[in-house]
Structures are given as C-alpha cells and as structure tokens.
Structure 1
Amino acid sequence: MLGPQTPAALDTLHAQLARQSVLVLTGAGISTASGIPDYRDTDGVRRGNAPMMHQEFLGSAQARKRYWARAMLGWHGVSLARPNPAHHALARLQASGHVSGVITQNVDGLHEAAGSTGVIELHGNLHRVVCMDCGKRRSRQQVQAELQALNPYLQDVHAVLAPDGDAQLATHFLQQFQVPHCLGCGSDLLKPDVVFFGDGVAQVTASEAWQAVQQAEALLIVGTSLMAYSSYRLCQEISRQGKPLLAINLGRTRADALLAAKLADPCEYILPRLAEQLGA
C-alpha cells in the first residue's frame, strides 16, 4: 500500500523528470526486493553482523578466515539475485534520457545487469576479488569454486543471509576453514574488490561521482539512509548549488532537511510507475 503523501510527491518527481534529467544515487533499499538484505531499519539503525574493518582484514589472518567462511555461504544470495522492477525502471529512464546517470553504494552489480550504463560504483563490486599484495584480480565465482573445494564440510550448512554477501555463522565452523590464495603470488591477502569500513572510496571513483554531481540538474536518492558520508556529501553539494534534491526511501535519511520532495514508499513500486508515466 502506498502512503497518503504519495500522489503529491509523485507529481513533484514526475514534473522534475519531465522538465530535466536527474542523477540518481542508490543504496541497499533498491536491492531488498531482489532478496539482498539491507543494512539499516527505517530509523537508520544498523542490523546484522558487525562490519568488517579494513585494517582488521589486512592485519589478521583470523579475520580473513572469518570473513571468507561467512562469505562462502552468503555469496549464493548475491550470485542468484536478479534485478527487480526498480533496477529495470531506472535503466529504462536512463535510456529515455530522464536519468542522466547512476551512482550506487551497492556492490551487487544489479544496475549493470538491468541495463544501466556508466554506473559509478562508490563502494566497488562483490563480483571481483583482488590480491592486496600483487594486485591480480579474479572473478568472485572462481574464488567461490576454490572455497567450496577447500571447505566441502560447509556446503550443506544453513546460514542466514546478511548484507553484501555476508552470512551468520557460528564460530565453531571456523576451526578447520581454509582461505583461498592468490594464483599469481600465493598470498592469502585476497579481498573482495569493495570498500570495507575504515577504508575510503577510491580517489578516481570519488572524483567521477563529484563531477557527475557538478554536471547534474537534480539528484534523486533511492533506497538509502545516506549514513555513509561519501554519499551524504554529494547531497550536501547538490543542495549547496541550489539544485533539487529528491528521495524515494522507506525510512528517514540523513538529508531529510534538504529534500524538495520525498516518497516514503517501496521504490520497486514507485520507479516503474514513474517510468510508465514518462513513457519510458
């Protein structure tokens, strides 16, 4: 069921996209309808496992073992996920010129799978793995095959999925777990090609996002509370420029005070409706 404020806010958003194209910034909320859990509840409170910290991952073999054991089980949720109507609607809106580009905090690759082009992935992509020693990259699917070959005892373990390919897993399962190694240099410092907590967005990616905001006529945020500063600062900048900032998000956002309009409704309902109204 859509909220009572939806018609007026939807009219505002429709008028904005009909008048000029918008840049879109997405978060975990756009992928929940694809079966990928999000990080926070509607009040912005974090749920699930404590996040893996960048320095902990690099400095602790035990932390890497814990990460890869949980990721081995959680990967299925990401690899089997498919774009939902919100992803497809954004791709159509981009193809029709109503959306100028997509910046995402998500690491699931679903925007590209839906047909969006030139997506700026602020936090990387789980479908790639990088060696932190030699820089060699591999596909996550290849690493998954190695994980399963090394740890067949985990394949029948049931685990509750968590955000970003993570899973809940009891600690006793870690005792005999073996981590994969780099095929190039043999290092065990294999890391998903994503930004862990405590690390920063790659400078080239941050610059691309900043430039996109400078060129944008308006910014629409979809499915994110904007608790990550790397995204919130883009909203601050678009507001500083005096350009419209709009949102489709079920809960509160860090930028609520800056918004020209907000739809507190599921984006998988709103975006297809908007695309249909605009003939996309």
Structure 2
Amino acid sequence: MTKHQICLDSSQNFYEGLSRAFRDPNLTVIEADLSRIHYIFPWQLTLAACLKACCYGKAELSFQWNKAKKYQNEIASYADRMGLFAGMKEAAVLQEADLRPDFNPENFFQIHPIRPGNEDELKVELENLLARFPSVPKELTEILEEMSENIRIHSGVSPRSGWGYVQAQTTASKLRIAFCDFGVGFYKTFHRENRLNGRSPKEMLELSLDSYSSLPESGAGMKQRGLARLCRYLDEHRGSMEIFSDSLRCRYLMRKKSTSVLGYRTKGLLISIEVPLNR
C-alpha cells in the first residue's frame, strides 16, 4: 500500500504530485490537500475533478483540509456545492456548512463534465450562466462552447473520445472560467494531424495564439479557431489567460505572450481565463 499527497495550492505542486503518484506501480491511496489555499479557483476545481476521474478504479482518493479553521471549511463547503465531492465521504461532512457571502451559489457554475454526448446540455448551462450578465456578448458563449468541443474532439486517444471539465465563478468585477483535460496535450494534437511542420511545442502554442489576425469577421472560417477567437475577445475586453500543456506555461495579456518551460511534467491541457465584467 502506497499513499501519495497532491497539493492544490499551485499548479507546480499539483502536477509534480500527480506525476509522482501515477509513476508508482504500488499506488493505492491519494490524498488531495486543500489546507494551503485561502481561496479556490476554477483551475483548481477542474484539476481536482480530472484527478478524481483518473483515480476511479485505480486508487482511493480523499480530500483533506484544516477543519479547525473556518475559512478552510468554507472552501471545502464551496467545493462540495460545486460538485467536487459528489459520491465521496467528504460530502456528508459538509452538508450543513455555511458559505461566506462571496460564495453565493448563484454566481457559480458547477463543475461540469465535458464528454461525448453532452454537448447540448453543456451549451444550455453556459448560456444560462452568461445570460446573467448583459454586458457579456453572445460571442463569448460561442467561443466557450467551441473550447469544450475541442476537448471532446482532440484530447482523447482517438478522435471525438476526449473528456474533461469546465467550471466558472464570478465576483463583483470578474468572470473566471477554466477548462481542463488529462488528454494527449496540445502538441500531440497537432502532431497526429500532421500540422507541426518542424515546429517545437512552444512555437505551436504561440502560433495558435497569434493566428487571430487572419480570422474573418464571421462565417464558416471561424470554426475550429476557438483559441484564436478567444485571444481576440480577451484583447477587446482586457481579459487574460493562462495555458498549461506540454510542460509549458503561457500567460497571455493584451497580445503579449510570456511562455516558460516548466521544471515538471504537465498532463493534458489546462486553460484558465479571467474577463472583467461590467454589470
């Protein structure tokens, strides 16, 4: 019996713990640690949801937090209401926990699976979420729907077999949303479609972010250009984005990219988006 701990306080600690745990042939138990965080974001919830799916049938998973601290119980309660602990023993512990005011459930989008066959359901959920904010144009809903569709089409071992998760939260001034999968990663998607032309993972990622200058204003040419469309939207609305894939971390803000090679392996693709809201 081998137990591994995976900390959710940073992407580095998460991916390092994940890599170490699943390289262990004797893996039986994983403890996901929430005790070092003061606020839980969509990227953490989607990573945790992917971890939960990966552990199914392979290892026992539990979530740990400091139950002596009120803010830790509030974080865990929020994670529970967003669906992270569904079917787990942690859920029963938190049914009566109070949420602090900024954890208003009306401002949050539950962790939602992305999988073949639930396209219509997810489309309705995204539309309902963004309909609460009149300042958000319909274009953003269409872009986010295409981002989820890309996970279905590209992240799996075979085409259209991919799966992942999406979650969103809003504050008084921001919309945060994250998409995550544990699939083949950004670079391998282009490799199997013979679209690399000798480029490195860093070059392929940055080229995809740069390509929106060639986007048409509308029409069929917009399809399969979700990442480029998202970059254009973020620039127009002063939003930002982080992408983790292929052991790379790319930060995007106002047409400026900052890509670094990480000292640890990532798995699949994580996209974390933040957009200002004008209510």
The alignment's TM-score, normalised by the length of structure 1, stands at 0.24
Greater strand fraction, Structure 1 or Structure 2: 2
Query: Which entry has the higher C-alpha Rg, 1 or 2?
Result: 1
